Amino acid sequence: MPREALHLDNDAVAHVLDEIADLLELKGENVFRAVTYRAAARSIRDLREPLAELIEQKRLKEIPKVGPSVGEAIEQLVATGRSIRHEELQAAVPTGLLTLLGVPGVGPATARAIYDHLRITTIDELEQAAKDGRLRQLPKIQTKTEENILKSIAALRQRTGRALLNEARAAANTMLAWLRQETGLELLAIAGSLRRFRETIGDVDIVAGSDDAPPIMAAFVRAPTVERILANGDTKSSVLVARGMQIDLRVVPPRSWGAALLYFTGSKEHNVRLRGIALKRKLLLNEYGLYRVGAEARGQELACASEEEIYAALEMDWIPPELREDRGEVDAASRHALPALVAVGDIRGDLHTHTNWTDGRDPLETMALRAKAKGYGYLAVTDHSPGLGMTNGLSLERVQARLAEAAALNAKLAPFRILVGTEVDIRANGKLDYPDDVLARFDIVTASVHSSFSQPRDQMTARIVGAIRHPLVTALSHPTGRLLERREPYDVDLAAVIAAAAETGTRIEINGGPERLDLPDTWIPRAIANGATLVASSDAHAIEELEWMELAVATARRGWATPGAIANTRDLDAMLASRKKA
DNA sequence: GCCGTTTTCGGCCCGACTGTTTTCAGTCG
């Protein structure tokens, strides 16, 4: 069934508002107008209610940065799929300019100049003009700029999108190890979206604290993984490593370490809030420290050595990086009302893992020994059901053998406990992939969708809610089915899924697989508020992937989850007893 | 275009690097 074209959903509206912002910049209007449209787009992406609902209840003005003009555009977009302001701008600005804006290094002014002089509107034309040496005939463009534009286009074509968390972490850790080896530096840390555990990573940010920056910069740009140097300054450099991933390094004096870490961790929106608060107190906050306005030139900082010191000087509690998204954490920290977030150390066991009996790589005993070594009290092994042909799902005979294998290992490893579970497929027709008498033999049953992803919303929702209501199902795995940077989520009414989970006591998984991170962090507060219980799982297919639990916990933290919201922070008996189902 | 414990008008975070410049605009994060 084709999507109803007339009713733009929140993401689609946000997309148009972003485009309006781009067009305003290209048109050369007051930049703050563009800033406002972008800020409004972001607020809308953070909303957990449909815009149509807010319009109906006349609550649009409650959205930050939405006033009369933006509100009118939103109403038009939701009602008709179009906005007069947007269409006027499209008529006034050649649409090709938006394409040029997508090339890194080309901003509104350059895009405008290129179009005005050469009438270029596509990347291909831009590339050809650069190769022909026509760009350098424009004012303020010489060969260097031309070369950079060509390099940017090449990188753009090579680039596959944002990096997954584990890929970005690997690239960052390799660079950190290199810098430590070459410089012996102690003050060295990952900042940016990677430190905040955002689900995908654009650039990797690294901060170093030292009074002697040049040797550090030199080591950075000659690192073996570097493929291209984008910028190489006294205190700031940028490089590209494999697959077009960018790494930025900033060196600050050690006394500014805390201010720099805070600044480069972001998010940008969080920083803007902090600076606004600082300004109201006649203070200036930058990457070097917190100063009384006017005193920064004299180097008389109030605070800057640690993040804690800076937050304290602004009369706030220290805010965990995962919360720094300007989603209420600044106010909560000012009221000293931040939640005590769940931490990796709170996790007592993993409830979703696979072995080499289906699509995993390691045997059960190896997985169990690693889980035990990690300090867990229990490990649920949840190999697939047979319906998923490609994963060699367990037949009834093999389920029997698995139970025997686990019993023998449990005798050996006690008090550590292996729970024999299954990741049972929810078939296209909503039926589970094992009969009830087989499901009843498992300690844990987690249900998931692995096929027929394109079912209509109503059908998909009924299919999943049906599984949640099944009395033998203890959890729902990766509720949206998305694969980051690879596959969109299936169309499902998550609010209905959460409501059914809360009602029945079936748990909702936060899957730590770096491609999934599903339930997404933005839905976690809603699940908690509605009384659903969550579990954090690694979905490990090998022993080293048990470490993906950290990503599941980070996602939970980004969703403001406390230990109480996560079932597997409890020891085995309490975890099993907290299940509402028999 | 939005917003208000300085303000209903006049601000809106702040600084580094690059390239093309004799002092700065453009871009980025």
Please choose, from the candidates A36, A24, A35, the residue with its C-alpha nearest in 3D space to the C-alpha of residue A71: A36
The pLDDT assigned to A534 comes to: 97
Strands (E), A385-492: 417-425, 444-448, 475-476
- For residue A2, pLDDT over 50 is answered with no
d(CA A67, CA A223): 49
- For residue A301, pLDDT over 80 is answered with no
Q: Which CATH superfamily is domain A262-334 in?
A: DNA polymerase, thumb domain (3.30.210.10)
Phi and psi angles of residue A179, each rounded to the nearest 5 degrees, phi first = -65, -40
The pLDDT assigned to A1 comes to: 30
State percent of chain A over pLDDT 90.
56
d(CA A364, CA A357): 8
Nucleotide B19 C1' to residue A269 CA (A): 29
The pLDDT assigned to A5 comes to: 46
Nucleotide B17: nearest residue by CA–C1'? A233
Quick check: do A10-92 and A96-158 share a fold? yes
Question: What does the pLDDT average to over A73-101?
Answer: 90
A169-220 pLDDT tens trace = 999 999 999 999 999 999 999 999 999 999 999 899 999 999 999 999 999 9
- For residue A350, pLDDT over 90 is answered with yes
Nucleotide B21 C1' to residue A140 CA (A): 9
Nucleotide B18: nearest residue by CA–C1'? A231
Eight-class DSSP state of A490: P
* Residues in CB range of A24: below 8 A, 6 or more apart: A30, A33, A34, A37, A89
**Count of Cβ atoms closer than 10 Å to residue A386 Cβ:** 18
- Give the nearest nucleotide to A69, CA to C1': B1
A222-239 pLDDT tens trace = 999 898 888 899 899 999
Residues in chain A: 582
Nucleotide B1 C1' to residue A212 CA (A): 45
Q: Which amino acid is at A171?
A: A
- For residue A294, pLDDT over 80 is answered with no
Nucleotide B6: nearest residue by CA–C1'? A280
CB-proximal positions of chain B, under 7 Å: 1-3, 5-6, 11-21, 25-29
A54 neighbors A77 (Cβ within 8 angstroms): no
A45 vs A167 pLDDT, higher one: A167
- Give the nearest nucleotide to A43, CA to C1': B2
Torsion angle defined by CA atoms of residues A36, A38, A40 and A43, in that order, rounded to the nearest 10 degrees: -140
The HSE-up count of residue A578 (CA atoms within 13 Å, CB side) is 18
- Give the nearest nucleotide to A250, CA to C1': B16
Nucleotide B19 C1' to residue A190 CA (A): 30
Nucleotide B8 C1' to residue A94 CA (A): 37
A204 neighbors A265 (Cβ within 8 angstroms): no
Which CATH fold would you assign to the domain A96-158?
DNA polymerase; domain 1 (1.10.150)
Residue A396 is encoded by which pair of tokens?
């009834």
- For residue A291, pLDDT over 60 is answered with yes
The pLDDT assigned to A424 comes to: 92
CATH class of A10-92: mainly alpha
- For residue A44, pLDDT over 80 is answered with yes
* Dihedral class, residue A560 (left if φ above 0, else alpha if ψ from -120 to 50, else beta): left
The pLDDT assigned to A137 comes to: 86
- For residue A396, pLDDT over 80 is answered with yes
The pLDDT assigned to A45 comes to: 80
d(CA A114, CA A25): 15
- Give the nearest nucleotide to A271, CA to C1': B13
Nucleotide B14 C1' to residue A268 CA (A): 11
A402-461 pLDDT tens trace = 999 999 999 999 999 999 999 999 988 898 989 999 999 999 999 999 888 878 888 999
**Domain residues of chain A, as ranges?**
10-92, 96-158, 163-252, 262-334, 344-577
CATH numeric code, A163-252 = 3.30.460.10
The pLDDT assigned to A388 comes to: 64
Nucleotide B21 C1' to residue A526 CA (A): 54
* Residues in CB range of A119: below 8 A, 6 or more apart: none
Please choose, from the candidates A251, A253, A280, the residue with its C-alpha nearest in 3D space to the C-alpha of residue A264: A251
Please choose, from the candidates A103, A78, A76, the residue with its C-alpha nearest in 3D space to the C-alpha of residue A87: A76
Strands (E), A170-298: 188-191, 200-201, 203-209, 228-232, 236-241, 245-252, 283-286, 289-292
Phi and psi angles of residue A233, each rounded to the nearest 5 degrees, phi first = -105, -170
Nucleotide B12 C1' to residue A273 CA (A): 12
Nucleotide B26 C1' to residue A41 CA (A): 25
In whole numbers, what is the pLDDT of chain A averaged over residues? 89
- Give the nearest nucleotide to A238, CA to C1': B17
The pLDDT assigned to A578 comes to: 76
d(CA A305, CA A258): 5
Using DSSP's 3-state secondary structure scheme, residue A120 falls into coil
Nucleotide B12: nearest residue by CA–C1'? A32
A258 vs A2 pLDDT, higher one: A258
Nucleotide B2: nearest residue by CA–C1'? A65
- Give the nearest nucleotide to A248, CA to C1': B29
Highest mean pLDDT among A31-45, A48-62, A172-186: A172-186
CATH class of A344-577: alpha beta
**Count of Cβ atoms closer than 10 Å to residue A446 Cβ:** 27
Residue A26 is encoded by which pair of tokens?
């290209």
**Count of Cβ atoms closer than 10 Å to residue A178 Cβ:** 17
